[in-house]
Structure 1
Amino acid sequence: MSLKPDIVKKKKIYTSKLSDRRLAGGKRPEVYLHSSKSTGRHLQQTENWNPKHFRLFVGNLGPEATDEMLQGAFSRYQSVSKVNVPVDPKTKKNRGYGFVAFASSEDYLKAFKEMNGKYVGQRPVQLKRAESKVKGK
């Protein structure tokens, strides 16, 4: 009996936003949309986030990272409204990324500038603007 790994479909798309092109040095930046069986559960967790709030994607989290650890790392910003580190339901381990929502655009921008590359746990985090995969959000 052969075991097949869980297959993740990748779809290569290009963004058309002018600001994203400027950030990429004039080139069309590539974006990969990943889909798997567990994506639905993650979307359910983020659906109840306030769509007016500003969200950061926090990448490169270590296996020890939790919601509480991420909350503590961003606690100096008063407008943090919600923090989430998704956990794989099968392995009960985090997926290596998280999200932080801010009510204030000023705190969002300040956190992005100050926290990008800072250590949360044992790894330096990589921050990006979080975009919802759900249409209309």
Structure 2
Amino acid sequence: PHVRSAAGKTWIDSSLDDWPQNDFRIFVGNMGNDVTDQQLYDHFVSKYPSLLRTKVVRDAKTSESKGYGFVSLGDALECAKAIREMDQTWLGSRPIRLKRSNWKDREASKRIYKTRR
């Protein structure tokens, strides 16, 4: 299982089991509430053949978009190219902001903690 840690809390995040293990993931921010998973996928698929998965993150109770999502690619060069080419492109009602996802850095089970001497 994937153990996550953020904002002083730690939890098991089973949603990460649905993602490819060795992918190159992009954080997509500034998305309007009108953007669907399919629209996010369609925005990338024609330019980046290594596209594996897309996901708009939604509130568990209301199912409304939280305004961000993720794009998973199988190729590191395509990932870098996508961030360069697709940042600030319009998707729905807003220009999206892209950056390399740091999800692996936030996984608590893989952290190495330094101790003071």
TM-score, normalising length from structure 1? 0.66
Deviation, structure 1 residue 49: 1.5
Structure 1 runs (4+) deviating above 3 angstroms are 33-36
Q: Point out where structure 1 has 5 or more consecutive residues left out of the alignment.
A: 1-32
Equivalent residues in 2 for 1:1-137, closer than 5 Å:
33-34=6-7, 43-75=13-45, 76-132=47-103, 133-134=106-107, 135-136=109-110
Deviation, structure 1 residue 114: 0.3
Q: CA RMSD in A?
A: 2.2
The corresponding residue for 1:21 is none
Structure with greater contact order relative to length (CA < 8 Å, sep ≥ 6): 2
TM-score, normalising length from structure 2? 0.77
Task: Supply the distance in 1 between the matched residues of 2:34 and 2:42 (Cα, whole angstroms).
Answer: 14
Q: What do residues 37-68 of structure 1 show as CA deviations (whole Å, max 9, x unaligned)?
A: xx958x32223322311000000000101110
Higher share of residues assigned strand: 2
